[in-house]
């Protein structure tokens, strides 16, 4: 790995969540975007070691984003974060993601650290 920081793309329209992810995962260079379209542009133009994506985005869903990314990138781990009960760990894996973490839980930060370490 050397001195090169691992890169994480945070796709989340609530800036505070991206700030929390950035402060939690300090060994990553965190690039934040708020929309599905901006995320697709970033993924196409640069390498990321992990993509963390909210399920509901202003211009679509994280599920749609994951399906688009998987057309041209089968390898980069995609981890969903959501407060919604409409999306599950099983659904995440079915569409090509590596799992889901529920926002708002007391264990969110701990789960995020563990999953990031496991996936990247």
What domains sit in the chain, N to C, each tagged with a CATH number?
6-119 (3.40.50.2300)
How high is the pLDDT of residue 86? 86
Query: In the block, which residue shows the tokens 């691992």?
Result: 6
Distance CA 73, CA 107 (A): 30
pLDDT digits (tens, 9 = 90+) for 67-115: 999 999 999 999 999 998 889 999 999 999 999 999 988 899 999 999 9
Confirm if 25 and 116 have CB atoms less than 8 A apart.
Answer: yes
pTM, rounded to two decimals: 0.93
How high is the pLDDT of residue 23? 95
Question: What is the end-to-end Cα distance of the chain in Å, rounded?
Answer: 11
Structure tokens at 68: 């688009």
How high is the pLDDT of residue 1? 44
């Amino acid at each position: 790995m050397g001195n090169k920081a691992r890169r994480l793309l945070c796709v989340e329209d609530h800036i505070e969540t991206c700030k929390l992810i950035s402060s939690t995962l300090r060994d990553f260079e965190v690039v934040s975007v708020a929309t599905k379209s901006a995320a697709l542009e970033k993924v196409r133009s640069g390498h990321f070691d992990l993509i963390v994506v909210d399920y509901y985005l202003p211009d679509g869903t994280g599920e749609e984003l994951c399906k688009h990314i998987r057309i041209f990138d089968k390898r980069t781990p995609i981890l969903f974060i959501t407060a919604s009960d409409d999306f599950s760990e099983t659904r995440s894996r079915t569409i090509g993601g590596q799992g889901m973490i529920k926002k708002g839980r007391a264990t969110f930060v701990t789960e995020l650290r563990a999953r990031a370490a496991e996936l990247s």
